[in-house]
Structure 1
């Protein structure tokens, strides 16, 4: 159903409403990818978090940096870190903390094992 809403009807809003109704990770993931393609970066990050989907972290990082939405990126990267230990994620998390002037969080992050 979400494929029809996104690909045939081309309505991200209706697909998002559907995702809220069914609350399935795979649906939220598809909505998130569509939102990211349309440049709705903050909304896409929120949808990826709802989907618990860490697979597209490189695309999310790139889009968030272009859109300058580092607060949202931090939330997403913290979720990704729970799923995968990628050096790229750790580096981007530190960078995002620096961009939003959360220096104490950088210090805490570096001191973690």
Structure 2
């Protein structure tokens, strides 16, 4: 680690060449997980997020790499992209499939990457959580309705019904609750309908 620390200091005129060389050879010539771990740690300590992304892409996305399915490296790649280059997050979410889904989705939500969180939940068919993101964070009931129609899941229709009721869309809410086969909220429906003079 001391050698890495010296090599990756900012005023080392050969730092960029070293990084390029490491990235170029890392997946084809490195099979030892300890070497990979040490290299990744060195890039993290040197606070080189963009270079770390380059390194992790080469390790994980290279077809010949033995580390393609490494869960921790996939998590680290997505988390580093959330921190350093948000434009890449959606691509990683769609390409990778071994990362910790709920944790990454929640971190995406906390960093206001709502489309990315929705894509994560949708990818693994956790429709209720995907709908929750559309309702609570994207705040688009038209899109939520389209999603409910596509997945046609009673729990999703019920969530949509609640959101529509909160938005005083009583007729739409009733339709959604019918599609959910969920009569439990009839008192709320009556209350909102009465308040809006629908009865």
TM range (shorter): 0.5 to 0.7
Q: Which structure dedicates a bigger proportion of its chain to helix?
A: 1
* Structure 1 unaligned blocks of 5 or more: 83-87
| Residue of structure 1 aligned with 2:101, choices 67, 70, 73 | 70
- 1:60 CA displacement: 0.7
TM-score by structure 1 length? 0.58
- 1:97 CA displacement: 9.4
Aligned length: 105
How many Å separate the matches in 1 of 2:123 and 2:58? 24
* Structure 2 unaligned blocks of 5 or more: 1-17, 62-67, 141-199
Root-mean-square deviation (CA, aligned residues, Å) is: 3.7
**Other-structure match for 1:17:** 41
How many Å separate the matches in 1 of 2:139 and 2:124? 15
How many Å separate the matches in 1 of 2:80 and 2:59? 9
**Other-structure match for 1:85:** none
How many Å separate the matches in 2 of 1:90 and 1:107? 13
CA distance 1:101–1:46, shift in 2 (3 Å): same
CA distance 1:27–1:91, shift in 2 (3 Å): same
Higher relative contact order (CA 8 A, sep 6+): 1
Whether contact under 8 Å (1:49, 1:76) holds in the other structure is yes
Whether contact under 8 Å (1:42, 1:72) holds in the other structure is no
For residues 81-92 of structure 1, the aligned pairs below 5 Å read 81=113, 89=116, 91-92=118-119
91-100 vs 29-38, greater mean Cα deviation? 91-100
**Other-structure match for 1:48:** 81
**Other-structure match for 2:135:** 107
**Other-structure match for 1:8:** 25
